[in-house]
Amino acid sequence: MKAWIAILSLKLIMVEVALAAPQINMDYVRAIKTGGDTTVFFKGESVQAFRNPAANLSEDDIRRHLSGDALFERNFSDDTNRFEYGLGPVFNNTSCNACHSKDGRGALPVIPFNQEWVQLKQNEAVFLRISIEDGIQRPKNAQNKWGAPVPVPGFSDQLFHLGSMGVREDIPGSGQAQVWMKYEKSTFTYPDGEVVNLRKPLFKVTGAYDEYFDSVTGQTRSRLYENDVKMGARIGTPMIGLGLLEAIKESDILALAARDLSDEGVSGKPNYVIDIEKVLANNPYPVSMGRFGLKNNTPSVMHQSLGALRGDIGVTNYAFPDESIVGTILYDIFKNGRTLPMGVEAPREVADDIVFYSQTLAVPSRRNVDEAEVVRGAELFHQVSCTSCHQPSYVTGPHQIAAFSNQKIYPYTDMLLHDMGDGLADGRQDFDATGREWKTRPLWGIGQTQTINPRAGFLHDGRARTIEEAILWHGGEGEYSKNKFTRLPKADRTALIHFIKSL
């Protein structure tokens, strides 16, 4: 009954917002203050571009931000005698900063040219999401964990390739399994004959902790190696402007979802996901609209950050108090004979300061907005319909951090899921997101990405070395725009990329 009411009221909202169909405001072409009054300004190019607090924070807020900053860079440890205790027992990295290099994007591991596979070690910015995938979309109820991915038995929904000492006596330093990566190379040829080299990372897993030799089939087996297990790589994403994305009005996002863009083959949809704040408040229907994560699978910066603190680094906190591998045999083996400290590892204020920091990193201003090439590129951006998904602007609604309320911002995302085609698909459902759907990435700050980290890669798994490569990977709902882009004369393609680099 309750669910019925929820659906009904949702439909009413959709009807209401459909009336106010959003238009593309072309003021984005020359807009400089990308994050409204939160914007920070740089004259040149700098590795510090993403490392600043929002410009309009109060002094108290700045102090909190700086306290979170130190925590974000902290190397957590599994040594109980150490101040920054809490790492592990399994993890993907030892600090937030290690995946979000200088608060920007991560890079895929280096594969020397004379080598095929490389093993993911410590300090790589990429990890694998894993789940059991049978293609069936389940109803959203408590029994089905409100549509959450089905964890791999004996593992979870994230593969932890690193482990504290003592987790794997057989392979010290490893976690649940070892992960390897290589590239599949391909080329794209423009209608005008220009060729671009593309690469896609492929992963294989070895040394799973439950691995055994099956003498009947003559195969090495693990639950992880079964065919119904799907894996998808995720790379560390930029940390800027997250509080502002949180402040975008839900009605504005739903209005974008309600547009009819069928001529372009575009149909953005929201994701509805578990909301840990509602769970903590004992809300019987703990589901909210997703805004963060590459498939919009978390609803808030708090949920996303504290989930990552426990997941990626293994530091338990008030929102996620259990170790990530509780209930698996690996944990039982690890526990055996050890006295484990009781209680959560990150004190409340540590957890909250990390969340606050993650909300309050500033977006840098646009650059070179008056260059003719950039202006022309901005107009082409709209002409080839990039703006259909990369919605340029919003005016934010209220936010608990006053600095983010009522700001005119230019994030270039509709905050919605889109089918991006086979080339990018990871085959994994995540709540309402299918194995082919991804959230539109915000483009603000993107032009500074490789100033901050020269090897940083674009798209969910960091495969694209350039903005051009990222555009060429667009398939599915992105196909229409990509085709329009590829048919542009070279000079126009360059101008369009110039515009994106000015963001």
Positive or negative torsion for Cα 489, 490, 493, 495? negative
Give 73's contacts (C-beta < 8 A, 6+ positions apart): 95, 96, 97
**Number of residues lying near other proteins (CB under 8 A):** 41
- What does the alpha-carbon distance between residue 387 and residue 464 come to, in Å, rounded to a whole number? 21
| CB within 8 Å of 50: residues ≥ 6 apart | 102, 103, 104, 238, 239, 240, 361, 364, 445, 448, 452
Encode 133-157: b = buried (16+ Cβ within 10 Å), e = exposed.
beeeeeebeeeeebbbbbbbebbbb
| Nearest by Cα to 363 from 81, 40, 96 | 40
> Using the rule CB under 8 A, which residue among 22, 151, 166, 427 binds other proteins?
166
Closest distance of CB 43 from other proteins, Å: 6
According to the binding rule CB under 8 A, does residue 450 interact with other proteins?
yes
Q: Does 80 bind other proteins (CB under 8 A)?
A: yes
Question: Which residue reads 């059991």 in tokens?
Answer: 132
Nearer to other proteins by C-beta: 51 or 291? 51
Residue in 453, 481, 486, 502 binding other proteins, rule: CB under 8 A: 453
* Residue from 9, 122, 219, 220 binding other proteins (CB under 8 A): 122
Question: In angstroms, what is the minimal distance from the CB of 45 to other proteins?
Answer: 4
Q: Applying CB under 8 A, does 347 fall inside the site for other proteins?
A: no
Asked if 82 interacts with other proteins (CB under 8 A), we say yes
Q: What is the nearest approach in angstroms of other proteins to the Cβ of residue 197?
A: 11
Closest contact distance (angstroms) between CB of 115 and other proteins is 9
> What are 326's two structure tokens?
């509780």
Answer yes or no whether residue 186 interacts with other proteins by CB under 8 A: no
Q: Which is nearer to other proteins, 111 or 369 (CB)?
A: 111
How far apart (Å, rounded) are the C-alpha atoms in residues 129 and 134? 16
- Using DSSP, state whether 235 is helix, strand or coil: strand
The residues that bridge with 131 in the sheet, in sequence order, are 230
Q: Point out which span in 4-12, 241-249, 356-364, 450-458 binds other proteins (CB under 8 A).
A: 450-458
Amino acid at 149: P
Three-point CA angle 484, 257, 306, nearest 5°: 105
- Residue among 5, 32, 63, 75 that touches other proteins (CB under 8 A): 75
> Does 92 sit near other proteins (CB under 8 A)?
no
- Residue ranges of E strands in 80-177: 90-91, 118-119, 126-132, 158-159, 162-163
Q: Which residue, 165 or 491, has its beta carbon nearer to other proteins?
A: 165
Q: State which of residues 3, 12, 32, 70 lies at the interface with other proteins (CB under 8 A).
A: 70
Bridge partners (DSSP) listed for residue 292: 298
For residue 64, give the nearest of 313, 358, 345, 315 by alpha carbon.
358
The one-letter amino acid at 480: Y
Question: Considering the rule CB under 8 A, would residue 77 count as an interface residue with other proteins?
Answer: yes
Question: Of the candidates 34, 131, 288, 451, which one interacts with other proteins according to CB under 8 A?
Answer: 451
User: Does 101 participate in binding other proteins (rule CB under 8 A)?
Assistant: yes
Q: Select the span of 45-53, 229-237, 323-331, 393-401 touching other proteins (CB under 8 A).
A: 45-53
170 interacts with other proteins by CB under 8 A: no
When binding is defined by CB under 8 A, the residue of 1, 2, 19, 112 that contacts other proteins is 112
C-beta closer to other proteins: residue 182 or 408: 182
Smaller CB separation from other proteins, 296 or 450: 450
Stretch that binds other proteins, among 39-47, 258-266, 398-406, 432-440 (CB under 8 A): 39-47
Tokens of 62: 């700045």
Q: Under the rule (CB under 8 A), what is the footprint of other proteins?
A: 43-48, 70, 73, 75, 77-83, 94, 98, 101, 107, 110-113, 121-124, 162, 164-166, 171-174, 450-451, 453-455
